[in-house]
Amino acid sequence: MSTPQSAYRTVDAEGVRAYVAKLPHLAARLGGNPADWTIREVSDGNLNMVFLAHGPKGGLCLKQALPHVRVDPSWKMPLDRTFFEASYLREVFSSVPDLTTECLHFDPEQFILIVESLADHTVLRTALMGGTAPEQSAVHVGLFVARSTFHTSLFSESFEKTMDRRILFARNQTLTRITVDLVLTDPYFSHPRNHWAETELTATVADIRANPTVKTRVDDLRLKFLSNPQALLHGDLHTGSVMATQSDTRVIDGEFATYGPIGFDIGLFMANLFLSLFSQENIEKKSLQIKMIQKFWLSFESEFLKLWMTAPRNPDPSTHYYEEDSSSKNSYENKKNFIQTIFQDALGYCATEIIRRIIGYAHVADFSALKDHHKIAVRKKTALLFAKNLLTNGNSAETLEKVFEIFSQNIASNPECKF
């Protein structure tokens, strides 16, 4: 693949116009004359440049990797992340065609990826902050995770096919390193990338770092992330990686794709819904975010189980897992038991994501809606303590009801949070 010294050039809005104009099948999607297309830069994430191009017939989204982190040019980075995003879309699109976007074009020299424009959609984090998030989007993301992971796992395909994908995505080391460091390592040490503005959090951070049970659990989670390749993960499934209208939901930004434990994708999405919940002015039992967390998990669980119970039986017996056993548990119960291990993993990764988004690199915008510094500090501290509880409770939170009990206790122990 190219290096920044080769033919690679970063494009601007006019560069996008010229680039798309030279690709007849994409220019035809926009229609009209290139000179009349509207091109806008809409870069929003930490890493890449993103443009939307619109013409009389339709729209396109063009994403280009930069040789550095977009929001920190001193942090140099290889360009191959759009290759992995394109590869992820190519692998999962047939399983989730109405829940993501198709890769329409990938350029291995310019590291440009083109997908359809989602200009009518809103970033789910923005919708949550504005109180307009469609509850149903959580169901859709649950379906997305179930289908994308099931169909790339050993439960669905021969190990040879799965191994080939693992070989491909094992090369996504730059972004996997970011996840290992930013989500699963740095927050538990003193590191220059960590930061928090609220001095009220400092004692809680010290308390988390000094807790041996937390340390061991995070070690387990990091080890499992790197050594338990259950399925192809999205790898960065926060609420900024989801775009929604009231009826349609698309998961975007799969550049962190890697093989890993299915609970990782689930935990990240749950964590970002919890972060949104903690940042609500009024936290109530009927909060939208609580309903979305419940619907998300139920949607994942039932869809994954349905796929597993009803998928065409592969004649290769090595593809059969968790069927009848000597204790005469049936296939359904055994598979449910496996899904329970995904749930436990998810709670762990949920906790690490909550912690990193408050004290590590790349904080979430959600809390800024609260405005008042003290209120923000109280909510962040309560969120950190909730995450610590999830990491230290062993596997005693067996259900979401139990998780919400822990959540309620955390809220109740802090009189400045309502519930």
Binding site for ligand SR1 (CB under 6 A): 45-47, 69, 178, 182, 236, 361-362
Scanning 38-46, 276-284, 305-313, 406-414 for contacts with Mg ion by CB under 5 A, the matching segment is 38-46
Q: How far is the CB of 384 from Mg ion (least distance, A)?
A: 24
Q: Which strand (E) or helix (H) includes residue 8?
A: none
Identify which of residues 305 and 362 has a Cβ nearer to ligand SR1 in the complex: 362
Q: Which strand (E) or helix (H) includes residue 243?
A: strand 242-244
Q: How far is the CB of 195 from ligand SR1 (least distance, A)?
A: 13
Three-state secondary structure readout of 343-410: HHHHHHHHHHHHHHHHHCCCCCCHHHHHCCHHHHHHHHHHHHHHHHHHHHCCCCCCCHHHHHHHHHHH
Query: By rule CB under 5 A, what count of residues binds Mg ion?
Result: 2
Q: Report the distance separating Cα 234 and Cα 8, nearest Å.
A: 26
Q: Report the distance separating Cα 320 and Cα 337, nearest Å.
A: 15
Q: How far is the CB of 190 from ligand SR1 (least distance, A)?
A: 19
From Mg ion, ligand SR1, none, interface partner of 303 (C-beta below 5 to 8 A by class): none
The amino acid occupying position 200 is E
Identify which of residues 51 and 361 has a Cβ nearer to ligand SR1 in the complex: 361
From Mg ion, ligand SR1, none, interface partner of 86 (C-beta below 5 to 8 A by class): none
Give backbone dihedrals phi and psi of 258, rounded to 5 degrees, phi first. -160, 160
The single-letter DSSP state of residue 283 is -
From ligand SR1, Mg ion, none, interface partner of 136 (C-beta below 5 to 8 A by class): none
The single-letter DSSP state of residue 133 is -
Residues whose CB is less than 8 angstroms from the CB of residue 300 and which lie 6 or more positions away in sequence, other chains included: 142, 143, 145, 146, 266
Identify which of residues 69 and 417 has a Cβ nearer to ligand SR1 in the complex: 69
Q: From the centroid of its chain, how far is CA 147?
A: 15
Identify which of residues 47 and 293 has a Cβ nearer to ligand SR1 in the complex: 47
253 contacts Mg ion (rule: CB under 5 A): yes
Q: How far is the CB of 89 from ligand SR1 (least distance, A)?
A: 17
Identify which of residues 47 and 359 has a Cβ nearer to ligand SR1 in the complex: 47
From Mg ion, ligand SR1, none, interface partner of 275 (C-beta below 5 to 8 A by class): none
45 contacts Mg ion (rule: CB under 5 A): yes
Q: Report the distance separating Cα 26 and Cα 23, nearest Å.
A: 6
Identify which of residues 72 and 207 has a Cβ nearer to ligand SR1 in the complex: 72
Identify which of residues 55 and 348 has a Cβ nearer to ligand SR1 in the complex: 348
Interface residues with Mg ion (CB under 5 A) are: 45, 253
